[in-house]
Amino acid sequence: MRNQLLKTGEIGVFALGGLGEVGKNTYVFDIEDQLFIVDAGILFPDEHLLGIDYVIPDYQYLVENQERIVGLFITHAHEDHIGGIPYLLKKVEIPKIYAAGIAVDMIENKLLEHSDIKPPKIEEYKSYYKFSFKGVEISFIRMNHSIPDMFGIVFRTKEGILFHTGDFKVDYTPVGPAAEYDKLAAIGAEGVLCLLSDSTNAERDELIPSDSKIGKSINELFSRIEGRIIIATFASNMYRIQQIIEASVLNGRKVAVFGRSMERAIDIGMQTGYIKVPKDYILNAEQINRAKPHELTVLVTGSQGEPLAALSRIANGSHRQIKAMAGDTVIFSSSPIPGNQEGVNKTINKLFRLDVEVITHGPLADTHTSGHGAQSDLKLILSLTRPKMFIPIHGEHRMLKTHKELAIEVGVDPKNILVMDNGDLAAITKDSIRLAGKVTSGEIYIDGTGIGDIGSQVIRERKMLSEEGLFSVVLSINSETKTLINDPTVVSRGFIYMKGNEEITASLSNHVKKMALGELGKKMFNEQTLRQTIVDQLGQIIYELTQRKPLIIPIIVDLK
């Protein structure tokens, strides 16, 4: 069924994730009553989402319109673009997944972990491929990013060309193949109706160093270090992993790998040819102990201070095989993602306590560069493609707003730019762009094996428990005789220490007793009303006594 918010001939564009946030990128193009999904990512939760593993978009709109879905088109293999695929496939029937190079292997590997999914066919595309659908031709433009095989997606429609950049930066000396700037200029000359472009670094007015420069910097660092090197980076950054291996080989070091995601990334990288390692240069756990410190590089996960990652366990002294010692040098080949700074700092402090040398990215050592373009890169893409209309994507709201200003500087008419939120529907024709309304969108929390069974109410309760604690009161009653069998029992966890606070707990117990007797004395006694009365009245009394609001749980045992 066609989208009723769109007029005949209009193209619909909306995001289920990726706008107002950095993560869960899921964009949908509604063209000729067909739905083209671009990416299906996850968002890693911040500290207020207690106990949540991942956040995915609400796929309800896709469930309701699945007969119109043509396929899922993947720009590249980062988790915020492919991590949601298994959860999407559990909800929606996708006819085909279109992906390139290493993304195919990463997706196949990911789907193996979900035995309850019957995966659709994965069609591998290359940069010169074209796919034709009803009134739409899709083609691809290679871009540069921190992972191989990153492609922007071109939609040729009756109304004009729409171009979705995916994640990118402008790198004139990339580690892998060069970006296809000639194709960008060609679609610009042909005329781009609407550009959707990555806004992650829209606020940064600086030159983002080339990945090849980081490779030279890492090699130079390795040549100066005499002891054992422990280096942490993102498992998804294939180019960086290859640079670390090359620097190790050049400096006569063998490589040991720790961390499940890092081991898997290296396996996939070696299978696809993106990671090349001389024979016998990757050591197993037994061989590590026989290697001399100056002949060893330990490549680990944990560059973001993740508590269970290999580097954090090394810093804690809880890693089974690697113990940090004086003479070791730990290198962070990454920058902290916003929100992770505290975890990274904790890890660094623990390493300093072990008398270990720590090198992080900064003015003295180039150990990392962003995979996202800064302002000059974004302006270059805008200048090459010369879009009539513009929708900034992939970023928090302030990043999208800044990207809008950059587009205006380059000459895009402000009336033709939409800064949107997830669920906002843009309606586009060759002459106009407008906000047509909203489609169903939202967040679904993944907690262990549960998908969507944790709602905002549960998160609020977890937050309350973590900050204010729990106060429970157990009542034994007889609803037939309308009597209280014994005095209420009070249980406190994380609220007050019961020993030493007997006066408060006795007072609260008496208040509950009065409430219970009052409710039992009523002609129409109702257990639910008693519970609610205890929660409401006890909450006020506790707040007046302690200025705190614990989670109150009344437990009523009816012994009639």
The answer to whether 351 and 326 have CB atoms below 8 angstroms apart is no
Please name the amino acid found at residue 192: V
The answer to whether 515 and 508 have CB atoms below 8 angstroms apart is no
SS3 (DSSP) at 369: coil
Order across the sheet with 150-156: list the strands. 130-133, 136-143, 150-156, 161-164, 192-198, 389-393
HSE at residue 264, side-chain half, CA atoms within 13 A, is 16
Q: Which of 145, 372, 394, 403 is catalytic?
A: 372
Question: Residue 206 is encoded by which pair of tokens?
Answer: 């600086």
Is residue 372 part of the annotated active site? The answer reads yes
String of DSSP letters for 490-516: EEEESS--STT-HHHHHHHHHHHHHHH
Rounded-to-integer distance, Cα 298 and Cα 187, Å:
45
* Cβ neighbours of residue 547 closer than 8 Å, sequence gap 6 or more: none
What does DSSP say about strands 229-232 and 450-451: parallel, antiparallel, or unpaired? unpaired
Rounded-to-integer distance, Cα 533 and Cα 481, Å:
20
SS3 (DSSP) at 202: coil
**Residue found under tokens 């806004």:** 199
The answer to whether 155 and 70 have CB atoms below 8 angstroms apart is no
* Cβ neighbours of residue 322 closer than 8 Å, sequence gap 6 or more: 230, 256, 258, 288, 298, 300, 310, 314
Rounded-to-integer distance, Cα 203 and Cα 406, Å:
10
Rounded-to-integer distance, Cα 6 and Cα 427, Å:
6
Q: Which of 198, 211, 366, 424 is catalytic?
A: 198
Q: Rg for the chain (alpha carbons), in Å?
A: 28
Active-site amino acid positions = 198, 372
